[in-house]
Amino acid sequence: MEEALISDVGGMKAKTKAKARYLKRKKVRRNARRAAVPKTKDTPRQESIEEDEEEVVSEDTPSVQDEDTRKVAHEERVMDSHQKKRRKLSGKGEDTYEEDPTPDAEESNIPLDSKLPSQGSLPSFPEPAAPNAPSKYVLAMQGIDKALVHAEVINATAVLPILPSGMDERTKLSERTRKRLLELGITELFAVQTALLPFLISQGSGVSPLYPVYNCPRDACISAPTGSGKTLAYVLPIIEVLSTRIVTRLRALVVLPTRDLVTQVRETFEAIGKGRGLKIGTATGQHSFAHEQNQLVGESSTSLKGGASKVDILICTPGRLMDHLNGTPNFTLQHLRFLIIDEADRLLAQSFHDWLAQVLAACDPRRHWTDNSPVSSLSWDDSALVPTSDSVSPAFLQRYHDNQLDIDEVKECSCQKLLFSATLTRDPGKLASLDLRDPKYFVVQSQTEQDQVDALDLVSERFTMPATLMEHMIICEPSVKPLMLLHLVYTRSIRNALVFTKSSESTSRLVRLIEFFQEAGTEDNRVILRAYSSDLPASERKSILDKFKAQEIHILVCSDLISRGLDISHVSHVVSYDAPVDIRKYVHRVGRTARAGRTGEAWTLVEEQEARHFKGMLREYSHLERVKRTKVTEKDTAGLLASYQVALQQLKETYTR
């Protein structure tokens, strides 16, 4: 028994020594394989395994190893093989693994020749990449009318002298109209007028200039700087074309955003059309609805298919237009020859009970078939020497016969739509709502801007300023902003100026502060200023505006009520006391000066917290370089500070009572 125990102990020692030698030699062989060149893929791993076993057997170990030793050796070889297969490729950030150059056939029953080659790897796909962004031109052209790319670009400095007599093929104006212009002191036409007059008047000439139903005129969109003569550009062709009319019908409709503009445009029509016999009416809500109805259509107890009208030209606001279109009997737009939308960007942005869709439906026969009764007995307006009192427009004339003739075909609408603005919209949705017919675009640019104009500038919103305008901005703290305005008025002696604020309340408060300042100061260098806002009644606003035009008032403090279209020739300065929030409002404000080639200056008081937004707005439209920053130091305002403190205290006491 002792001998058997000794034999077992000796066998365990022998097996332990054999295992240690085997592991040691295995480590040496592994290091050697790493240092040597790897074997080819066709070399089986079995040979190396057999060599390892021979070496193990050749050592001073028993010729027959027990089952545990062989099992341990085999497991270590398998683990070694798997570790080599999972080695990452050096220098790569991909999750790709390198195969062992000598695959072990004992690990799988798959034939060796069917395994992947050692240099092969899992398929590697390229990283996902974003597609190339479309160009600015492609983005700007999304939904834009292609005719805008082919717009006629006009040099803003171009003028054309008016010939006093003879034929003038350049402008197509009659001698009578040219003489009237010269009587008014207008000796030359501006760029927008020279381009637009031949386009509009030539389309009005023909067999039936009032009803060109077979050769329908093209619509037009005009983008021109403020003060470039847009009003006269549509007043002249309307006077020329409508002077041929025989019967009074509503043939020209001018839609404007404010009452003040309606009054101004009416004065222009009356001055140019003097002696032509054309009747001009307005509808703004300043008079009672019954009074306006009597002025437009008169009193009639019967319904007339052709409508009735006592005016040839109607100038109105959209709200009042809808009142008459829906509530005035015999008021019709079927005879319209011209539809003028002035300040188009503002009017298209305002709904007014969907006024635009209703106006287009009222003047287009394709949208207006509500009466199916035959009207073959009705005659044209100007096709007979003695027209009937209930004449229907040719485009609205339906005739039912057994045999259809060409003359009985539905005729096209003869209404020509004209859009005017200094900031004409490029919004595809708004332009599409107008249902323009083969539109022609006119863009007025200054000489330097015209040299650089390209298709991207045409389809993008770019606003043109008068070349004679000088622009400044003063950045200050909110607490001293009134002092900056006083510095401009009393130190720089600004007169004949418009001062714009953000609201009617700000307007009245600022006027009160300046009045207190003058009471606290000396009698020297006093100014006369008034507030002008929508809070005042219409009669008082008209009186104040007339005094300002007569230069009886030096400074007019106003809201944005008159920031569009108002033409006062002697305005030399515009001050934005409250900085405008968007570029369109800025363009229309500063456009009240430097009009018709005259010089002017624009000042904007910018609070420090607004400076980033204001500069970014100008930079977006490539206009920041033209606005010069002006610094006002404490030394510049030292002489005004004492009176300003007194005025500020009085204003505080007034509004806290």
Residue type, 307: G
Going by CATH, does the domain composed of 146-203+210-365+410-445 fall within 3.40.50.300?
yes
**Residue from 601, 642, 401 nearest 499 by CA:** 601
Cα of 232 vs its chain's centroid, Å: 26
Contacts with 390 (C-beta within 8 Å, 6 or more apart), sequence order: 304, 305, 306, 378
pTM of the shown model:
0.72
Listed range (81-95, 184-198, 374-388, 403-417) with the worst mean pLDDT: 374-388
Query: Please, is 586 exposed, middle or buried when counting C-beta atoms within 10 Å of its C-beta (0-12, 13-18, 19+)?
Result: buried
| Domain locations along the chain | 146-203+210-365+410-445, 469-656
**Residue from 467, 469, 466, 441 nearest 455 by CA:** 441
Mean pLDDT of the chain: 79
Residue range 251-291, pLDDT digits in tens: 999 999 988 899 999 999 999 999 999 999 999 998 899 99
**Residue from 71, 77, 61, 62 nearest 26 by CA:** 77
Outline where DSSP puts E strands in 308-364.
313-316, 338-342
Strand, helix or coil for residue 155:
strand
Strand, helix or coil for residue 160:
strand
pLDDT at 633: 92
Q: Any bridge partners for residue 552, and if so which?
A: none
300: left (phi over 0), alpha (psi -120 to 50) or beta: beta
- Angle of helix 318-327 versus helix 355-363 axis, rounded to 10: 50
Number of helices and strands (H, E) in the chain?
A: 22, 17
Residue range 200-252, pLDDT digits in tens: 988 766 557 788 877 788 999 998 888 888 999 999 999 999 998 989 999 99
* End-to-end Cα, the chain, rounded Å: 124
Of residues 111 and 566, more confidently modeled: 566
Please tell me if the domain spanning 146-203+210-365+410-445 has the same topology as the one spanning 469-656. Answer: yes
Residue range 429-446, pLDDT digits in tens: 777 788 888 999 898 887
Residue range 33-74, pLDDT digits in tens: 887 755 544 444 444 444 444 444 444 444 444 455 555 555
DSSP assignments along 583-613, one per residue: HHHHHHHHTTSS-TT--EEEEEEEEGGGHHH
- Give the 3-state DSSP-derived string for 189-233, with helices as H, strands as E and coil as C: ECHHHHHHHHHHHHHHCCCCCCCCCCCCCCCEEEECCCCCCHHHH
**% the chain with pLDDT above 70:** 72
Looking at 3.30.470.20, 3.90.1150.10, 3.40.50.300, 3.60.40.10, the CATH number of the domain 469-656 comes to: 3.40.50.300
